Structure 1
Amino acid sequence: MEFLQSIIRIPLEQLPFFLVTLLIAFTVHEFSHAYFANKFGDPTARLLGRMTLNPVVHFDFWGIILLVIAGFGWARPVPVNRDNFSRPRLMGVIVSAAGPISNLLLGILGSLIFGLLLATGTMNSITNDQLYKAVYWFFSIFIQLNLFLFLFNLIPLPPLDGYRIVEDLAPRPLRGRLQQYEQYSMLIFLLILFIPGLRTYTIDPLNIWASEMFATFVNFFFKLFGGA
């Protein structure tokens, strides 16, 4: 157990809640891409069976392992053919943004439920310590991880959604230059992962911002539902 804890960034007792959250967050994220792509005229993801809330078809094994160990990872990207869109750049931006926004909405939904539980005293009425910790850990992890994924996916590096948004918004000459550097994206991620100085200014602030958003949203709903 000590060996596992030494290589996993998530405390082992919280790992089940982390994995359940990933199951939901990644599935809804990828489904959102597929749904809007199909709605705008590109059936590629639907025909490949990706327009579904079945998590099995969306998970990438190594992406999940890396997220648990290193703090960031990925699901299987949903294939999108922008040539099928009547307005490729505008619809491409919406399809790309749909994934991160779905994580933001999940984070807000979790905050609403958690704030309600706190404001109504439901949390304090849980007398079993293990159950109390389980409920607290689930909502804390569910909300903060979804908010982290919202922020993380907006980073303008391929293959993240933030890059696709920038690519669709950029003038054609600039898009051509950007595409020349896509092959170096994995190297950039590895540098961010293994060079502490780079991680300090990239990944780590996202965790801080996600925590601050968590506190803000939960406090807002706590007060909205009458909490003192």
Structure 2
Amino acid sequence: MTTATARSDRRISPVFLGIAAVAAVSGWAVWTDFAEQPGFATFLFVTAAWVVSLCLHEYAHARTALHSGDISIGAKGYLTLNPLRYTHALLSIVLPVLFLIMGGIGLPGGAVFIERGRIRGRWRHSLISAAGPLTNVLFAIVCTAPFWLDALAGVPAAFRYALGFLALLQVTAAILNFVPVPGLDGYGVIEPWLSHSVRRQVEPFAPFGLIAVFALLWVPGVNAAFFDAVHALLRSLGVSDFDTYCGLDSYRFWQTPDARCSPNG
């Protein structure tokens, strides 16, 4: 009985498989230009792939916690990759997707409840927090690989733009997640190394950390500096500003497309 329960705790959720299937089919539609509305296909592909990356982000937190001593993770359903099992589905899935649609930015999520009291060792606590954004880093490497490997010959322009935009989302998510602000994974990395008194003083601000970071991003100067750094990093990986711009332009299928981004333009 215990073994059967453990296996079910780790069985990949049909919800996640469905999302992955949407990403695969819509990605194929973008690649082959099969869809009558290529912008809508790009929208589905990028959104579904983004949700897949969010699920993997949370899975990385949970899996690392499991191997660090929190054996309660499986019973909570976190190892099934089902986004509906997160403690705060609003923070982990809904808000990131909403910010993606509104502003084209990778909002860090985060809502798997880890019983930290079961885990011993500061390095383990730090690694659990780092595991999520490191997944975004890995996802960004995969998305940018065709660019920095100079393997774009034969890749349709629409798919290239979508991939560039998806890479932008992963880079912004990784950077923002690593900001050492309470409530974000970056703070979780350094928190075990802070004194007890400092942690007690900072703890009340944790629910507002994410809000504060995004409030700062609304400041034009901060926003410009942040995205200048993001685009500089992407350019070093072979992803041009034009790639990401056209990816966002195609993603927003409800707006008039920029003729410069047309494959035949």
Q: Same fold by TM (over 0.5)?
A: yes
1:181 aligns with 2:209: no
In structure 1, the partner of 2:184 is: 160
Question: Aligned letter for 2:51?
Answer: L
State how far apart, in whole Å, the 2-side matches of 1:113 and 1:54 are: 29
**Displacement of 1:205 after TM fit?**
4.2
Change in 2 beyond 3 A, CA 1:142/1:190? closer
- Give the alignment partner of residue 53 of structure 2, picking from 15, 25, 44: 25
* Number of the residue aligned with 1:52: 80
Q: Tell me the SS of whatever aligns to 1:112.
A: helix
**Relative to 1, partners in 2 of residues 1:74 and 1:125: Cα closer, same or farther, differing over 3 Å?**
closer
Amino acid in the other structure paired with 2:57: H
Cα distance in 2 for residues equivalent to 1:180 and 1:50: 26
Q: Alignment partner for residue 218 of structure 2, among 183, 189, 194?
A: 194
1:134 equivalent in alignment to 2:155: no
Alignment of 1:66-105 (within 5 A): 66-70=99-103, 71-87=105-121, 89-105=122-138
Alignment partners' CA distance in 2, 1:168 and 1:209: 32
| Cα distance change of structure 1 residues 190 and 32 upon mapping to structure 2, 3 Å threshold | closer
Mapped to 1, the partners of 2:174 and 2:236 lie a distance apart of: 11
For structure 2, the residue ranges without an aligned partner over 5 or more in a row are: 1-38, 87-91, 240-265
Deviation at 1:30, TM superposition (A): 0.7
Q: Is the 8 A contact 1:33 1:96 kept in 2?
A: yes
Contact 1:25/1:103 (CA < 8 Å) preserved in 2?
A: yes
Name the % identity. Answer: 22
1:115-130 alignment to 2 at 5 Å?
115-116=148-149, 118-119=150-151, 123-125=152-154
Letter in 2 for 1:110: C
Distance 1:146 1:186, change over 3 A: closer
In terms of mean alpha carbon deviation, does 18-27 or 153-162 score higher?
18-27
What one-letter code is carried by the residue in structure 2 that aligns with 1:38?
A: L
Q: 1:164 to 1:209 in 2, by over 3 A?
A: farther
Which amino acid letter does the alignment assign opposite residue 80 of structure 1? Answer: I
Shift of 1:209: 4.4
Residues 14/206 of structure 1: CA separation in 2 closer, same or farther (3 Å cut): farther
How far off is 1:65 after superposition?
Answer: 0.4
Could you tell me which of 205, 208, 217 is aligned with 2:231? 208
Q: Answer yes or no: is the 8 Å Cα contact 1:154–1:160 preserved in 2.
A: yes
- Aligned to 2:78, what secondary structure does the other structure show? coil
Evaluate the alpha carbon distance shift between residue 80 and residue 34 of structure 1 in structure 2; reply closer, same or farther with a 3 A threshold. same
Q: CA RMSD in A?
A: 2.8
- Number of the residue aligned with 2:35: none
Change beyond 3 A, Cα 1:197–1:166:
same
Determine the C-alpha separation between the residues in 2 that align with 1:39 and 1:25. 21
- CA distance, structure 2, for counterparts of residue 114 and residue 211 of structure 1: 10
- What is the match of residue 145 of structure 2? 112
How far is 1:12 from its partner? 6.7
Q: Deviations over 1:12-62 (max 9, x none)?
A: 774333213312221111110000001111133322101233445455323
- Residues paired across the two proteins, number: 195
Residues 61, 132 of structure 2: 8 Å contact kept: yes
TM-score by length of 2: 0.63
Distance 1:206 1:169, change over 3 A: farther
Structure 2 CA distance for partners of 1:183 and 1:144, relative to 1, 3 Å = closer
